[in-house]
Amino acid sequence: MAAGKIPAVPFFLRGVVCKGFGRGSKELGCPTANFSDEVVGTLPEGLENGIYYGFAKVNNDQVHKMVASIGWKSILQKRKKKL
């Protein structure tokens, strides 16, 4: 990302929650969810890895406060961005 240029935030993501490793809720003590690689691929270009906050809605239920961890996950010696 060019110096001084900030990607467009806020942004909106939509996708089906997919199965993770099954340790997030157990280790953190709160519900977690994972998005598919297709959804991760729609993140704004230049968005830095980090912890972001926002709102989530699942299955037309209530809107909830949420945090998102965006970063790299090593898989078979390749690096993939995860959300």
**What pTM was estimated for this model as a whole?**
0.69
Q: Where along the chain do its domains lie?
A: 8-73
Any idea which of 17-26, 56-65, 70-79 has the lowest mean pLDDT? 70-79
Please tell me the CATH superfamily of domain 8-73, with its number.
Riboflavin kinase-like (2.40.30.30)
CA 22/CA 24 separation, integer angstroms: 6
- Per DSSP, the three-state class of 26 is helix
CA 37/CA 19 separation, integer angstroms: 12
Q: Mind listing the pLDDT tens digit for each residue in 50-71?
A: 888 999 988 888 999 999 888 8
The pair of three-digit structure tokens given for residue 24, joined into one six-digit string:
């997030």
| pLDDT tier at 76, thresholds 50, 70, 90 | very low
pLDDT in the model for residue 65: 92
Please state the φ and ψ torsions of residue 37, each to the nearest 5 degrees: -60, -35
